Amino acid sequence: MRSKFEELLKSPCGRIRAATIFSRITRQHTAGELGDWRRRVEERPDIIPEAIEKLVQYTIARGELTASIVPTIVSMKKARNLKMLFFKPDSEGTYRLLYLLLSGIPHGDMVVNLFNVDREVFEEFCRLLLEKNVIVRRGKSHELDEQELREAMNVRGLPLRAHPSSFTFAFLNYLVYFFRDIQAQPQLGVEEFCEQWQITDETSAIVFHLPARGGKSSMYIFPRLASYVRKWYYDFLAGKGKFPHIGLFIGSLYIPHRNYREASSKFLEKFLYYFLNGYVNGELLSRLVTMKTEAYINGYARNGFVHAKSFFSKIIV
């Protein structure tokens, strides 16, 4: 696993992503050695390999994994009344868990990664995102420019921060759009796309939500990406449309007007959680469609539904 880290941290893109995420997962350390390392990494991303080693040593010395490394874990102190199987971290296991986090792409308090894909293709994708200013600098860190993700859905104001399912959908939609665009192959084909990325039904999108102190960390796993891509991006990867139809349809469900935006984003987030797991929740879809229709009739929505026929034709058996 150390060799994978070494490969990741050879590139400037890998180092700045890892440094940004390292700063996120260690921000509770305001003092002490880890606090010092966090501040140093923010100024000098090139020292991230040494900082990771310090975090591994700290975890092993402490004798337990923390939510910094496994967002869903409960500390022994808080779970002393629960009958839990005690897991004492070792170097290899800790590096493996950290790699899943630090090799991802940061966006605010979230990190997205793809599991079981060709890592060379993924890293080249990240490098191009940085080169084309889709990964941008924000203060002392780097993150995805969410406006780029929204543009591929032709939607304004859709909340992506603190909305893991909406963010994951927008990211995957942009990945397919960007990859076809940079390949300059309008008819790349869905099978060719999956082959290049080595995407199978063992491939998952993993999103970590790492809010500031006081917030509850969480991790979301969206599986079977091959089936998802084949179903929803077949037409786009066959050369149809400037943007993926599914992204445009989902974007058209959102209502940015102040009278609707909170409820609209809430129901869309729930709908996309099921959708990314391969299930179209009819009740939530009905609420979204009804809400958008009402907003449109009352003049609070400029446009109607986009590529609705394409969407519904794929869910009718």
Note the pLDDT tens digit of each residue in 21-38: 999 988 888 888 888 998
Q: Tell me: do 118 and 221 sit in the same domain.
A: yes
Domain boundary, last residue among 69, 103, 137: 103
At 73 the pLDDT is 55
Percentage of the chain lying above the pLDDT 70 cut: 90
Cβ atoms of residues 20 and 49 within 8 Å: no
Say whether both 183 and 233 belong to one domain. Answer: yes
- pLDDT for the residue 312: 94
pLDDT (0 to 100) of residue 2: 77
Which of 77, 103, 129 is at the close of a domain?
103
pLDDT digits (tens, 9 = 90+) for 222-264: 999 999 999 999 999 999 999 999 999 999 999 999 999 999 9
> Both 41 and 170 in a single domain?
no
Q: Are residues 251 and 162 in the same domain?
A: yes
What is the per-residue pLDDT for 281?
A: 96
- Do 140 and 259 sit in the same domain of this protein? yes
pLDDT reading at 17 higher than 50: yes
Both 122 and 63 in a single domain? no
Same domain, residue pair 129 and 229: yes
* pLDDT value at residue 212: 77
Same domain for 67 and 111, yes or no, is no
For the stretch 72-118, pLDDT in tens is 554 445 444 444 444 577 888 889 989 999 999 999 999 999 999 99
Please check whether residues 95 and 162 belong to one and the same domain.
no
| pLDDT recorded at residue 20 | 95
Same domain, 222 and 301: yes
- Host domain of residue 75: 1-103
pLDDT at 243 (0 to 100)? 94
pTM here is 0.92
Average pLDDT, the chain: 89
pLDDT at 116: 96
Number of domains observed in the structure of the chain = 2
